[in-house]
Structure 1
Amino acid sequence: MKFMRPVRVLVLVLVSSVFVCGSAFQAAGEKQEEEINWMSLEEAFKATQKEPRKTIIDVYTDWCGWCKVMDKKTFRNPEVVKYINSHYYAVKLNAESKEDIIIGGTKYAYDSEHRANSAAIALLQGQMSFPSIVYLDEKFNMIQPLPGYMEAKAFHQVITFIGGDYHKKESFEDYKLRTYPKLYSEAFAAF
């Protein structure tokens, strides 16, 4: 019986080692999924003051089903993540947030009549539709709000159109048909 005890200990040590080593190899072999570097509206405003960059704002609500689909699919696409993180400050704004938001000395509070934060109301120009993506320029001025769910490919076309200032040079239709396929042929193939 005394002989069995060291054998059990040895077996436990060996089995534990296999699980630990196996887990370490699996973790090392797994590729870490990149994510969008989300921040608050206030953080994006401050960052823009230091290092100007366009801002993209995902205006959502907790009850919005299509917002959740965008989170799971569109915002996890590697090409979308890479482009947003390198060209935009990315903000998630819950339209129904009851917390005050202060931007450049202006306070945005919850508006109980509209059941939304006044920052969301202003950004969406009163057109409360979810999800909506709002694009701001490097000086935090409105470029355009775009309502509705978008698949990753269509969304990538929009973020590159605005992020690369093509919206100042050509129509979106021309960009989609001519410019985008030339610039993003590798990304285009990934969709």
Structure 2
Amino acid sequence: MKKIGFILLLATLTSVRGLAQEIKWVSLEEALELQKKTPKKIMMDVYTSWCGPCKMLDKNTFHNADVADYVNKNYYAVKFNAEGNDEVSYKGKTYSNPGYKPELANRRNSAHELTRYFQVSAYPTIIFMDEKGDLIAPIRGYQQPNQLELYLKLFKNDDHKDMDSQEKFNDYYKAFKPEFKS
């Protein structure tokens, strides 16, 4: 009987560990408020509803247990629809999407003013911000878990501050040893 109980416990633990972990997404305004109490950097997923690589990023990368765990511990995570209709307050200004058309909600639509402010020109783009909500860098395109890991750790540890040339980034990239499982 003890063997059966142990096997059931082991099976339960294995299946729980195998479940996709979820990133705790908040709005940009919530992230900026949270920074006031507990400073952390912000990772903002700028996506659209029609973008295939955006959906792949969500499914394959943001649902990766290592990515979700690292992001939840070290960042405030924001999902932002680059062509959505939300009003967003950032740095004392309110941004909206005056060209938004509801009938195009699941197709290409007008770019949100905040999307333009951050000069996002491709989807997905992951925007990293520092503990004060200031832009560090936008990372364009689909990122696999180990590719995103490089940027998550680079910005979290402020290693980017020592990189004043492409050569220094290339050296960092070559020396980086990914630990996330794909």
Query: Which structure: larger Rg?
Result: 1
Compare the two structures and name the one with the higher helix fraction: 1
User: Which of 30, 40, 52 is 2:15 aligned to?
Assistant: 30
Show the 5 A alignment for 1:1-191. Answer: 30-31=15-16, 32-112=19-99, 115-123=110-118, 125=119, 127-170=120-163, 171-178=168-175, 180-181=176-177, 187=179, 190-191=181-182
TM-score, length of structure 1 as denominator length: 0.75
d(CA) in 1 for partners of 2:114 and 2:81? 10
Gaps of 5+ in 1: 1-24
Structure 1 residues 172 and 82: CA distance shift in structure 2, 3 A: farther
Q: Give the deviation of 1:174 after TM superposition.
A: 1.8
**Counterpart amino acid of residue 58 in structure 1:** D
Name structure 2 gaps, 5 residues minimum.
Answer: 1-9, 101-108
Identity %: 35
Instruction: Give the CA RMSD over aligned residues.
Output: 2.4
User: Between Structure 1 and Structure 2, how many residues are aligned?
Assistant: 161
Question: Displacement, 1:27?
Answer: 6.4
SS of aligned partner of 2:142: coil
In structure 1, what residue type is equivalent to 2:170?
E
SS of the equivalent of 1:30 reads helix
- 1:52 Cα shift? 1.2
